[in-house]
């Protein structure tokens, strides 16, 4: 009897232990499921909140970009309006000045004792087209001079010399009183330059133009005094380079004298000379390695 009672107690104990284990397993599964569900819920909520924040940020960025675009558009319109007003004001001032300016003949603008003479010159030879009425220039001539003691009369010696200095520019093309528009002048191949020269300079300039090529050198507005400048030859170039740089250019000897200086005297500087049978307006000096 006692044995049966013990067996019942053991069976009850085993059943209780099994039930406890089952309950523990069930509780563990429930806890794990709950944790997983809550974790997923939290993750989903966080993801949704983040998406909402991202959407809000994107909308805010788009709004800022739209405002920036509107500001840039308004700024560009304002700049265009300012430029338009400024251009209109400049045009109005130019028109008013044109109306107020009284036309004046070129002869009334000429300095006393001068003559207006127009030359046609390559734009690159006219300081690249950077000339305006009122400028002063020096005139350089590349002359073809009959060779000395040459059997062939067609043989020429070429010499480059500054023949006139401090010559006033009266007009550039048809412009007589306004600063030149350099961009427009540089688009042309040739230019018409009207110069104010003395009467004898006019004829000499015409002669030099017909027997060579003319080039203009722009002077400083503050420089008025003329300078004595030797003509440019191989000899004078070699002497200049040797004196200023120390380089000795190998210039070949010439059998005939080389004309290397031409000085044209203006009426102001010309003094009365004794009659020698020579033209007093031009002095020609001959020198060179082949000269005696």
Both ends of the chain: CA-CA distance in Å? 168
pLDDT band per the 50, 70, 90 thresholds, residue 149: low
CB contact at 8 A, 273 and 279: no
| pLDDT mean over 41-57 | 87
Alpha helices, DSSP H, located in 101-198: 106-109, 182-186
pLDDT in tens, 239-284: 888 888 888 888 766 544 444 444 444 444 444 444 444 444 444 3
> Which residue do the tokens 């002048």 mark?
185
Report how far residue 249's alpha carbon sits from residue 10's, in angstroms, rounded to the nearest whole number. 132
Q: How many Cβ atoms from other residues are within 10 Å of residue 177's Cβ?
A: 14
Question: Across all residues in the chain, what is the average pLDDT?
Answer: 79
**Residue 236: pLDDT above 80?**
yes
Q: Is the dihedral of CA 246, 247, 252, 258 positive or negative?
A: negative
Q: Is 283 helix (H, G, I), strand (E, B) or coil?
A: strand
Mean per-residue pLDDT, 186-204: 91
The pLDDT of residue 291 is above 70:
no
Pick the more confident residue, 282 or 173: 173
Strands (E), 123-277: 136-146, 156-172, 190-197, 212-218, 258-264
Q: Tokens 């509107």 — which residue?
A: 70
- Identify the CA nearest to 120 among candidates 68, 193, 60, 17: 193
The token pair that represents 210 in the structure block: 């017909």
pLDDT band, residue 2 (cuts 50/70/90): low
- If one compares 16 and 103, the residue with the highest pLDDT of the two is 16
């Amino acid at each position: 009897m006692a044995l049966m009672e013990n067996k019942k107690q053991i069976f009850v104990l085993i059943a209780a232990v099994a039930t406890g284990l089952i309950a523990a397993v069930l509780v563990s599964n429930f806890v794990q499921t709950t944790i997983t569900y809550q974790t997923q819920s939290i993750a989903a909520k966080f993801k949704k909140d983040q998406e909402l924040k991202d959407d809000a940020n994107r909308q805010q960025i788009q709004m800022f970009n739209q405002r920036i675009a509107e500001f840039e558009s308004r700024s560009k319109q304002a700049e265009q309006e300012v430029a338009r007003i400024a251009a209109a004001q400049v045009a109005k001032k130019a028109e008013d000045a044109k109306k107020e300016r009284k036309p004046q003949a070129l002869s009334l603008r000429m300095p006393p004792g001068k003559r207006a003479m127009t030359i046609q010159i390559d734009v690159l030879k006219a300081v690249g087209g950077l000339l305006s009425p009122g400028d002063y220039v020096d005139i350089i001539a590349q002359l073809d001079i009959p060779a000395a003691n040459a059997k062939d009369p067609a043989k020429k010696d070429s010499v480059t010399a500054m023949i006139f200095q401090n010559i006033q520019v009266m007009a550039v093309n048809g412009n007589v009183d306004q600063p030149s528009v350099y961009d427009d002048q540089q688009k042309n191949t040739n230019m018409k330059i009207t110069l104010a020269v003395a009467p004898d300079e006019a004829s000499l300039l015409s002669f030099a133009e017909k027997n060579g090529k003319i080039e203009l050198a722009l002077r400083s507005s503050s420089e008025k005094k003329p300078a004595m400048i030797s003509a440019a030859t191989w000899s004078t170039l070699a002497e200049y380079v040797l004196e200023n740089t120390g380089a000795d250019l190998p210039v070949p000897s010439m059998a005939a004298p080389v004309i290397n200086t031409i000085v044209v005297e203006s009426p102001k500087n010309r003094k009365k000379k004794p009659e020698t049978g020579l033209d007093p307006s031009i002095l020609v000096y001959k020198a060179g390695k082949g000269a005696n």
